[in-house]
Structure 1
């Protein structure tokens, strides 16, 4: 991979990586930092990808790993709620209800929140999520089911009516 390949990856999948980081951190500024780190890593340590989907999966996995590291780091702090202006700069716009649900997803343990995000927001199949996360399809399916149940319980506590 050369310099133009890293630039191509950024132009092609930059929004996806940013959305992934934002969904996991809830902070636009932190999501931008994580996105930058992912693409700087790709630039400085070139990777070989078989397909664009392989590249996209690597970028998403890198973003998820960086988000995990972010939450383990000492710089994690209580941030003020996200400005509406900043939320609108993302390529995907959330309704107020979407934001509440996204916050509930974010509060789930990471193994559930990442699978739910990849399934519902990025629209990956269970098989594709398994490949991205390096897990068996049955494991991903179980994690998704447990995550849904946990999310349902949390939403019901807040008075949401959950329809299946």
Structure 2
């Protein structure tokens, strides 16, 4: 949790929603607090899609910029994370369409955790398999398994029915399994 957010809570017992409401009204400290609280989440999500540190940072910067200039459009403060995730995914998709290639930063993968060469290869195979998936399967899988979002949260982000998301995840996992088995 961001230091500023913790400081504000300890002084005023202010909730996340209250801070987001203040941010919507233009309070700069509140905007900084919610961005700081979510910056690591945004980076990790962007990196899962892009797999390049610099590109992920750029996408995060674009996302934060768009969120700041459009925060007044956020109708319900409790959906802030859903809203900013949607902006991030749109930015990632725009970037992927314009570049249409994926760069793997093996060094970054090794830094994420101390893993053996075999585990690293498995992780790369998994990322490659995920990249092959159609977008409708890829996004729900990344959001559920890499960002620990619930089915409801994913449905909100993607503006889909929860049952549709469940179907996409189930079919996506089957496709991933098939891709990974064909590669062996």
Report the TM range for the smaller structure's normalisation: 0.7 to 0.9
Gaps of 5+ in 1: 160-164
The corresponding residue for 1:110 is: 135
Q: Is the alpha carbon distance of 1:45 and 1:11 closer, same or farther for their aligned partners in structure 2, counting shifts above 3 Å?
A: same
- Residue 55 of structure 2 corresponds to residue 36 of structure 1: no
**1:88: how far off?**
6.0
Larger RCO (CA within 8 A; separation ≥ 6)? 1
Name the TM-score, length of structure 2 as normaliser: 0.74
State the TM-score, normalizing by the size of structure 1.
0.82
Provide, for residues 119-153 of structure 1, a one-character-per-residue CA deviation record: whole Å limited to 9, x for no partner: 11111121221111110011101111111111011
RMSD: 2.1
Structure whose residues are more often helix by fraction: 2
Cα shift at 1:81: 3.6
Specify the SS of the correspondent of 1:45: helix
Aligned pair count reads 152
- Give the drift of 1:27: 1.6
Match of 1:162 in 2: none
Which whole-Å CA distance do the structure 2 matches of 1:56 and 1:87 have between them? 26
Pick the structure with greater CA Rg.
2
Aligned equivalent of 1:144, options 169, 175, 180: 169
153 and 83 in structure 1: CA distance in 2 versus 1, 3 angstrom threshold: closer
